[in-house]
Amino acid sequence: MVQVITKEVEGKKCEPFEEAVVEVPEQYVGSVVELFAQRKGEMTDLQPSLEGSSRLKFRIATRGLLGLRNALLTATRGMGVMNTVSRRPDTPL
């Protein structure tokens, strides 16, 4: 059985979050934002990158990332690149 890993911080249950950086062609930005929104991800930054490309930053719970890489590749027809960095569990559930 799958369980969410939580930690008590100042008497509140918190879970681990990650920062996800996605590099994607501009035509797929809407699809990527929708994918992250379905998994309760919060977009923190959107910047134009190389020609015709955008860099999106999201804050998302680690459990929301499960299976997301495959969905991202499908939605962007293999053109999306995602990197993640773990952050401390500081947000109450």
Q: Do residues 14 and 87 make contact, with C-beta atoms less than 8 angstroms apart?
A: no
**Is the pLDDT assigned to residue 93 strictly greater than 70?**
no
- Mean pLDDT to the nearest integer, 12-34: 92
**Domains contained in the chain, number:** 1
32 found inside a domain? yes
Number of neighbours of residue 35 by Cβ within 10 angstroms: 21
For residue 24, give its domain range: 13-56+66-92
Specify the 3-state DSSP secondary structure of 33: helix
**Is the pLDDT assigned to residue 3 strictly greater than 50?**
yes
CATH number of the domain within which 28 lies: 3.30.70.240
8 found inside a domain? no
Rounded to two decimals, the pTM is 0.83
What gap in Å lies between CA 71 and CA 6, rounded to an integer? Answer: 26
